[in-house]
Structures are given as C-alpha cells and as structure tokens.
Chains A and B, each alone.
Chain A
C-alpha cells in the first residue's frame, strides 16, 4: 500500500507543479456543458435520462484528457523506464497510477457537478435534491462509474504509451469497452434524479460495482504483460 501511495503522491506533486491536466479538464468540461446547454435548449421540462447522459459524456471526454496525459508525463525523459527498473510489482504501479487518475478525475468532476446543476437542473420540474435521497447516491454513482472507466483508461493509456498515434489510440481502445459502465451509470443517475427508491436501481448498482471489481482486478493482473519491453 505504501508503494501505491508513493506513486499517487508523486503524480499529484508533478501535476501540482506542472498544472497540465487539471485546468485543461476543467475548461474542456465547461465548454462541453455550454455546448450541450445551447444545443439541447434545456428548460424546466428536462428529460433526466438525457441530462444524465450529458453529464457522463462530459466526465468521460474530460477524463480521457487526464488519462492520456497521465502516462505521457511518465514518458517525458523516459522516467517511467527507471520506475520499471525498481523491484516493485507492476500491479502496484498500475494501482498507484489508477489511484492518482481516479482522484484527479473525481476532483475535476466535483468542479463540473455544480455547473451541471446550474446549466441543466436549476429549475427542473419534478426533481428532488434531498441530501440522502439524491445528492449522496448520485455522488456514489459518480465515484463508482469513474472507477470503472478510469481503470480501463489507465490500463490502455499505458498500452498506447509506445504507439505513435497514442492520442488517437486511447479513445479508440477505451470507448467500446466502457459502454457497459456508461450505460449503467447513466441509468442509475437518471433513476436518482427522477426520485426513484434504491430498490429500483439496486441491481444496476450491483452490476456497476461488479464491473469495477472485474476491471480493476483484471487490469492490475494484466498490466505486467502490457508493459513488457516498454523500457526500451
């Protein structure tokens, strides 16, 4: 666990000083929400399913920016190669990168969510935003969905590290695989905004948790094989 936290701390220190990822994600998300807001002309009779889809599209597009940069920063100066030379399990390296990426994406989502409320749900009819009935479950789904797509994104961004077309490869590799996570997350968020009880979406919640566990376990086990020969 200490080694995972070391990678997490290092990534945060590097991002704090370089300020490359976070401002870009925030500005990009803001622009996306503005475009969606103008394009869909949201009024008080909002469709909660569409609104949920909009917020998840924003999360994923801006999240991919962070994931793309995450390993690019390691590639600069080939610093990642030296990390691979240390006697640390490749699974720990993956989990450290995953932790820093999840926290980074969640932080940006925390900034996006108030804007989302303002742009799409400010005067929405039939919405209940009680703390326990909507806000906390919604945030819980955001955390679970984020773990799901970031776990795959972290895995594939390391894979795309040594390809010439890495910026183009990442979305092509990640998007098809995160579809189940996105559909499930959008469905649950929509149910929460509509004020449905937990029983209504508990099965979807279990599916989402299962995706997270499978993706994280599988990716951490396969990471060693993925980065084989990447130190060259």
Chain B
C-alpha cells in the first residue's frame, strides 16, 4: 500500500502472538493534520496497533502505510517522520536529561542540536534539570523528558501510547498544551484511557475491542454520549 490519500491507513491489519490473535482486520484512515484518539479496554490491541504503525513490530497480515510508506518494507523512511511517546519512558537512566536528548537527536541529525535541546527542555519546563541524571528524576518528570525527546526532531506524525499514564497535573497540562499547539500541522494517533483529554484533543475517535474496531466516527461525541457508545460497543463493558 503506497501514496494513498491518507497520512495513516490500515486495511485488514492483523497480528497474532503465538496462537493468540491481537488484531483482527483493522481498517483505519487518518488524514494529514488529523488527531485520532483510540479508546478501548486493556488488551484490546491498542498498543500493538501503534507498535506496528511505529515499525516496532511487523504486521501479521493486511496492509498498513504511514506517510505513504509501507510499514513492512519502508521502515527507515517512516522512522524519520514519526515520534513515539509511550507510558514506558524508554530513557537511559545513567545519562542526564540533556545527554538523553543529544544522543537520540544525533541519530535524527537534528540541526543546531545543542540549541534545539535547550529550547525543547525549556518548553517542557525541564531546563533547570538538564544536567540531572534520569535515575534521580520522578516518573512524571521523566515522562516530560520523554515528550521532549520525541519532539526533538519535529516529527510530522506522532504516535502516543497512553501518554498521560503516570503524569501529574502539571505534566498533563504541559502535554495537553503541546499537543493542542501542534494540532493543525501534525497527524496524531493517541491511545488513552483518559476520556477527558482524549475527547478534548481529537478530531475523530475509534474504539477497539478484542482486536477489532467496534466503533469509529469522524465527529467527536460529548462525554455522556461517549460513555453510552463505549458501554454499548465494548463486550467486556468496562475499562474506561
């Protein structure tokens, strides 16, 4: 699948771990500059879907493209264009905040890297902690640093896997304001259990359950309406 009209597109996407199917024919389409929030109970396949789109893992079947590039065969082109934030910070504990940014930034060949690191640390409110080892930072602070690292190379597409998980109020506000400021020029796919943040930021929503898209809409519903939709769609009936 290549050069479609959509920035992110999947058709009949499947994945199974051993004999256990995790994704069963996912069809999704996200246009350039759109913000899709994916809701779903634990084990629905949300993280696996993002992992495939971010080229972490191979799809088991079907097709998926990101920015017109196939996730199976054109991984390096996709990796240049995407950023990934997970509930796992994926930081080096024995490097400082700045060293973590500089290490990853060098692989993306970010111009004026030192200056860019200072700017981005300032933006997430961590400039004062630039020389602190990651092992000495709280989880919320680490998550903010992980956000800074992801934005360092100014990715065109963002995959956010439960980004609010473990963030304190300050961290969540910073993330919401950053995501809000990027809404027009970046394509974002976010999975979350946080209904308030998920609905306030998105342009469209999808609900995943047992590896299938059980609901999708290009219009975001109100919170009460969403609650009803969610309860009627999700077989396990809870989680959100």
Q: Which residues of A come within 8 Å of B, CB atoms?
A: 2-3, 6, 10, 13-14, 17-18, 76-79, 81-89, 228-229, 231-232
Q: A86-B104, A87-B79, A87-B80 are in contact. Are A231 and B58 (CB under 8 A)?
A: no
- Chain B residues whose CB sits within 8 angstroms of the CB of A76 once the complex forms: 93
Q: Which residues of B come within 8 Å of A, CB atoms?
A: 48, 51, 54-58, 76-77, 79-80, 82, 84, 86, 88-95, 99, 103-104, 106-108, 133, 149
- Cα A5 to Cα B177 in complex, Å, equals 37
Closest Cβ neighbor of A7 among chain B residues: B103
A3 touches B92 (CB 8 A): no
B56 touches A84 (CB 8 A): yes
B90 touches A3 (CB 8 A): no
B55 touches A85 (CB 8 A): yes
Closest Cβ neighbor of B149 among chain A residues: A82
9 A-B residue pairs with CB within 8 Å: A3-B106, A10-B92, A13-B94, A76-B93, A82-B91, A84-B56, A89-B76, A232-B48, A232-B56
- Cα A230 to Cα B145 in complex, Å, equals 23
Q: How far is the CB of B180 from chain A (nearest CB, A)?
A: 24
Q: How far is the CB of B88 from chain A (nearest CB, A)?
A: 5
- Chain B residues whose CB sits within 8 angstroms of the CB of A78 once the complex forms: 86, 88, 90
Q: How far is the CB of B134 from chain A (nearest CB, A)?
A: 8
Beyond the given pairs A6-B103, A79-B91, A85-B84, 17 more chain A to chain B contacts, judged by CB atoms under 8 angstroms and listed by A's residue number, are A3-B107, A6-B106, A6-B107, A10-B92, A10-B103, A17-B133, A76-B93, A78-B90, A82-B91, A84-B56, A85-B79, A85-B82, A86-B79, A86-B104, A87-B76, A87-B79, A89-B76
